[in-house]
């Protein structure tokens, strides 16, 4: 039986401690580092929430674009880079631009959810 807090719950607890208890008592350089730590934990939480579905969608798009399956996302991305580098694929290739846009939106959703162009790009 698994009754311990999940990784997400532990990260949320540490982030809450930093944000609500530690950071308000800090000044200067220490306060800056507390904000950096809190932001890093927020990124990890978004990774846990968003990354699995985004990566599964990316893998499906890559498999469709490249006509292969059963490879990791990293391997598929290396193949895609080679196809683009060799000129066998370009922005005129059906599905490539929507794939690149969707992948970028997924990454921005994790890394920079406050990015001003994210909402308009997702449309």
**Inter-helix orientation angle 7-17/28-66, to 10°:** 150
pLDDT tens sequence across 53-102: 999 999 999 999 999 999 999 999 999 999 999 999 999 999 999 999 99
DSSP code for 20: I
Closest CA to 63 of 97, 101, 95, 107: 95
Residue 123: pLDDT band with limits 50, 70, 90: low
Contacts of 122 (CB under 8 A, 6+ apart): 105
Q: If you search the block for the tokens 């490879």, which residue do you land on?
A: 71
Task: Tell me what percent of the residues of the chain surpass a pLDDT of 70.
Answer: 97
Closest CA to 65 of 54, 74, 76, 51: 76
58, 81 Cβ separation under 8 angstroms = no
């Amino acid at each position: 039986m698994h009754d311990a807090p999940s990784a997400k719950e532990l990260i949320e607890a540490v982030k809450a401690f930093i944000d609500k208890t530690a950071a308000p008592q800090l000044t200067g350089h220490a306060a800056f580092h507390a904000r950096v730590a809190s932001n890093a934990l927020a990124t990890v939480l978004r990774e846990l929430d968003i990354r699995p579905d985004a990566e599964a969608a990316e893998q499906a798009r890559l498999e469709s674009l490249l006509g292969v399956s059963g490879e990791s996302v990293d391997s598929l991305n290396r193949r895609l880079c080679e196809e683009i580098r060799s000129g066998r694929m370009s922005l005129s290739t059906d599905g490539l631009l929507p794939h690149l846009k969707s992948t970028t939106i997924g990454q921005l959703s994790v890394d920079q959810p406050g990015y001003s162009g994210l909402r308009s790009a997702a449309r």
